[in-house]
């Protein structure tokens, strides 16, 4: 271990991983921005009464490989044609993260105050919460 630390390899790996995470975040944000630009373009084309086919061609020319799929262009074209105004993507379906509310944070805090050596699994059993929720509360809210 001391060889790794003395050569600076660990620090280099950490810096590299952080750089990769930043680059990934920037790529995701760039892709989302391109999608929003395309949705505005779609909305504009619908207002000009252009068909989905006549909208897809210039999008492909402008955005190349980053163009929304044909299916997505047709889906958004139809939505704007039917009166949709919002260009932001709809929230995804699925269960929202509601188990990390203030009440559950206090319940976990109280259980941990009694015995701070409980595992996540044991805390979940004690509180009746999901293990993932307990872990999220412990790390994000109670900083344990």
Q: CB–CB of 100/94 below 8 Å? A: no
Q: Return the SS3 of 16.
A: helix
CA–CA distances in Å: residue 9 to residues 21, 56, 116: 18, 49, 35
Q: Return the SS3 of 132.
A: helix
pLDDT at residue 5, rounded to an integer? 53
Q: Are residues 106 and 71 in the same domain?
A: no
Residue 3: inside a domain: no
Q: Are residues 35 and 68 in the same domain?
A: yes
Q: Domain containing 115: what range?
A: 102-141
Q: Are residues 66 and 13 in the same domain?
A: yes
Q: Are residues 52 and 115 in the same domain?
A: no
pLDDT at residue 30, rounded to an integer? 58
pLDDT at residue 92, rounded to an integer? 60
pLDDT at residue 74, rounded to an integer? 92
Q: Are residues 71 and 25 in the same domain?
A: yes
Other Cβ atoms less than 10 A from the Cβ of 81: the count is: 16
| Alpha-carbon span 52 to 70, nearest angstrom | 9
Q: Are residues 19 and 65 in the same domain?
A: yes
**Tens place of pLDDT per residue across the chain (144 aa):** 455 555 566 666 666 666 667 666 655 565 566 778 888 888 998 999 999 999 998 888 888 888 888 998 999 899 999 998 887 766 666 555 566 777 888 888 888 888 888 888 888 888 888 888 888 888 888 888
Angle at 80 between CA 87 and CA 96, to 5 degrees: 50
């Amino acid at each position: 271990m001391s060889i790794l630390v003395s050569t600076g390899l660990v620090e280099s790996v950490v810096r590299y991983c952080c750089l990769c995470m930043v680059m990934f975040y920037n790529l995701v944000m760039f892709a989302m921005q391109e999608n929003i630009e395309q949705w505005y373009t779609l909305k504009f084309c619908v207002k000009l009464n252009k068909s989905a086919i006549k909208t897809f061609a210039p999008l492909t020319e402008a955005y190349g490989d980053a163009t929304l799929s044909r299916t997505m262009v047709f889906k958004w074209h139809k939505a704007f044609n039917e009166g949709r105004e919002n260009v932001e993507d709809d929230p995804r379906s699925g269960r929202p993260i509601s188990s990390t509310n203030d009440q559950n944070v206090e319940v976990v805090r109280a259980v941990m105050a009694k015995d701070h050596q409980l595992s996540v699994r044991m805390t979940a059993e004690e509180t009746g919460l999901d293990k993932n929720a307990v872990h999220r509360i412990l790390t994000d809210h109670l900083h344990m």
